A and B are shown apart, each in its own frame.
Chain A
Amino acid sequence: MKITGSQAVIESLLKEKVEVIFGYPGGANMPIYNALYDYKNKIRHILVRHEQGATHAAEGYARVTGCAGICFATSGPGATNLVTGIADAMMDSVPMVCITGQVASHLIGTDAFQETDVIGITAPITKWNYQITKVEEIPEVFAKAFFIAQNSRPGPVVIDITKDAQFKIFDFKYPKNYQLKKLLPLNPSKKIVKQFSEIVNQAKKPLIIVGHGALISGSSKILTKFIEKSEIPVASTLHGLGAIPTQHKNYVGMVGMHGHYSPNVLTNQADIIVAIGMRFDDRVTSTISTYAPQAKIIHIDIDASEINKNIKSYFEIVGDAKTVLTESLPLIKKGHHQDWLDEFKKLEIYAKKIVDGQPKKLGITQQEVIKMISEKTKGEAIIVADVGQNQMFSAKFYQYKNPNSYITSGGLGTMGFALPASMGAKIAAPDKQVIAVIGDGGFQMTIQELGTIFQEKLDIKILILNNEYLGMVRQWQEMFFEKRYSFTHLVNPDFIAISKGYGINANLVMEKNKLENAVNNFLKAQGPTLLEVRVEKENNIFPMISSGAAVDEIRIK
């Protein structure tokens, strides 16, 4: 069929079964928006208030559905505003396709109005990117972009399209079943699976650590079977939360800097660590030379470059976590690791006693708010956490029952992530309760997306944990910089008035005895609602592994 390049862009998205676009129009993508006008009934477009919001919303959508999130932006500042979100998606393996307008091809390289080298800027933070200057390239480039974004280890892709290519007419034909051999899954051989199973069967003190890859591969069910049969304790990274329900008897908590006490301490006593879809990030390992000295590391990852990148493995499997677990399950013997599991439980009770023994705070603490929300939503909500203390409290005190129900910016640690990401999550899962948990600092980084939430009537619950500080930085200043609170105190505006100004219902709670009522009303409310909780100003998140310490030197207080 003869159509314009702009129509071809939208037709390509429809071929890829795209339901929603997060975007912002401008000079260089106006032809695409002009085409989109005729597709309003076939594809939803969410007009964000800043292009960064589009990227995080796309990430939120992708993290819930597993399908690529789509962003539209114009050239120049539109495209550069995408950069933070693209980098975020790259670090956290989130499938995303960003489509940026570009000045006309004859103007490229002339420093034309709103011209930027988008391909150059985004090359280090994309899995792939490409500039389309000829209309005929559109179908194949789109098919390739979607395949790359969504296959093997997912990631962001940028397609930059010059304005002249958007206008031209051509004969549109979309490739069928486009594949790149390079990204097709490698299935481990029978021999590898057998060897893996033997190592697991012989372990005395095995520990499984699941990461984001376990969720991306959709291996939660098979993982549960695997740990129940092998009786191996399982810990999670920040991004692996929800791969195993946190109440499961084999689940021992989160590893890493602000993780739980026992999995960090016992990492250094394990004889086998099976790492599934995780990348031994420095926040997980702390000092590498003191990490898991007793353990043989079995590393399962779909990305070969992650193997031996940070931690030398004893045995490696490059492949999809679900496939590896499924094929090895029949070879796994019924394990007997109850005594070893009990060691985790005992240590956790010990740590909890010390934490509970600390002087009680008079004000509301972040953990009690999260605990209360966890109980009242029965662990069934999708929590979209921002970055900082609020992120760690939500990771630790919400009891996640389902996969992909804790969404946060882990690798890049992007403040301002949660509000826009919660929009994408809600659109992806309209029947789920979606709660954005945000500090007063991060909220003000993308606060303008309240406008998007209002316009689109997105039923998101926005929880602001306000301690009038950049809480995590303040905690570090307290612990490691002699309480020199250098520029971490915030004099905040009236968040309630701002929220109401955006047409979003809002309430403030300051007293402990009013918290429960406020939370009840917050969760019951119809439509977008904001609850600001004034929390203890100088509350710290513990346990914590200090920089330079070993994982088993984790501090409880």
Chain B
Amino acid sequence: MKHTFKIITENKPGVLYRLVNVFYKRKVNISAVHADETENKNVSIVKITVVINPDMVEKIKKQIEKIIEVIEVN
């Protein structure tokens, strides 16, 4: 299934690298990625779209939540 993770994170160097690693480690191909600063320059929103098994959504979400700079994942 196609799923988009919406990630609110601190706007710091290296965060995108850690995010991408979560997918790369599990050999999940990223079909789209979009990252933007918000009005608050310290916070950014990253949207990552992947095709994965439904049971992986929750597992990956929890892994993303562990990244120290990540504020929220939907």
Q: Which A residues form the contact surface with B (CB < 8 A)?
A: 119-120, 123-124, 127-129, 148, 180, 182, 303-305, 307-309
Contact = CB atoms under 8 A, between A and B. Distances in A.
Nearest to B59: A309
Given A305-B63, A308-B59, A309-B59, A123 B21 contact: yes
B62 interface: yes
Contacts of B66: 303, 305
Given A305-B59, A308-B59, A309-B59, A127 B68 contact: yes
A182 B72 CA distance: 11
B39 interface: no
Nearest to B22: A124
Contacts of A123: 14, 17-18, 21
B25 interface: yes
A128 B68 contact: yes
B25 A124 contact: yes
7 contacts: A124-B25, A129-B14, A180-B68, A304-B62, A305-B59, A305-B66, A308-B58
Contacts of A129: 14
Contact of B68 (A182, A304, A307): A182
Nearest to A147: B68
A225 B45 CA distance: 48
Interface of B: 14, 17-18, 21, 25, 58-59, 62-63, 65-66, 68
Given A123-B18, A304-B62, A305-B62, 14 more contacts: A119-B14, A120-B17, A124-B21, A124-B25, A127-B68, A128-B68, A182-B68, A304-B65, A305-B59, A305-B63, A305-B65, A307-B62, A308-B59, A309-B59
A123 B14 CA distance: 9
A351 B18 CA distance: 47
Question: Which 7 interchain pairs have the tightest Cβ spacing?
Answer: A305-B62, A128-B68, A124-B21, A305-B63, A304-B62, A123-B18, A305-B66
A121 to B, nearest CB: 11
A148 B18 CA distance: 16
Contacts of B21: 123-124
A182 B25 CA distance: 24
A211 B17 CA distance: 31
Nearest to B20: A123
Contacts of A303: 66
B65 A148 contact: no
A207 B3 CA distance: 38
Contacts of A182: 68
Among A119, A123, A303, A307, chain B packs the most CB atoms within 10 A around the CB of A123
Contacts of B65: 304-305
B59 A148 contact: no
Contact of A148 (B14, B58, B62, B68): B68
B55 to A, nearest CB: 9
Nearest to B68: A128
A165 to B, nearest CB: 16
A491 B21 CA distance: 41
Contacts of A128: 68
Contacts of A120: 17
A148 B68 CA distance: 8
Contacts of A308: 58-59
Nearest to B61: A305
Contacts of A309: 59, 62
B47 to A, nearest CB: 21
A166 B23 CA distance: 35
Nearest to B21: A124
Contacts of B17: 120, 123
A29 B14 CA distance: 23
Contacts of B63: 305
A447 to B, nearest CB: 33
B45 to A, nearest CB: 18
Contacts of B14: 119, 123, 129
Nearest to B24: A124
A164 B17 CA distance: 25
Nearest to A182: B68
Nearest to B64: A305
A273 B22 CA distance: 30
Contacts of A124: 21, 25
Nearest to A129: B14
Nearest to A124: B21
Contacts of B58: 308
A307 B62 CA distance: 9
Contacts of A304: 62, 65
Contacts of A127: 68
A411 to B, nearest CB: 15
Contacts of A305: 59, 62-63, 65-66
A304 B59 CA distance: 10
A128 B70 CA distance: 12
Nearest to A152: B66
Nearest to B14: A119
Nearest to B18: A123
A128 B15 CA distance: 10
B34 to A, nearest CB: 21
A304 B65 CA distance: 9
A110 B17 CA distance: 20
B25 to A, nearest CB: 7
A154 B21 CA distance: 20
A180 B62 CA distance: 18
Contacts of A148: 68
A129 B17 CA distance: 12
Nearest to B58: A308
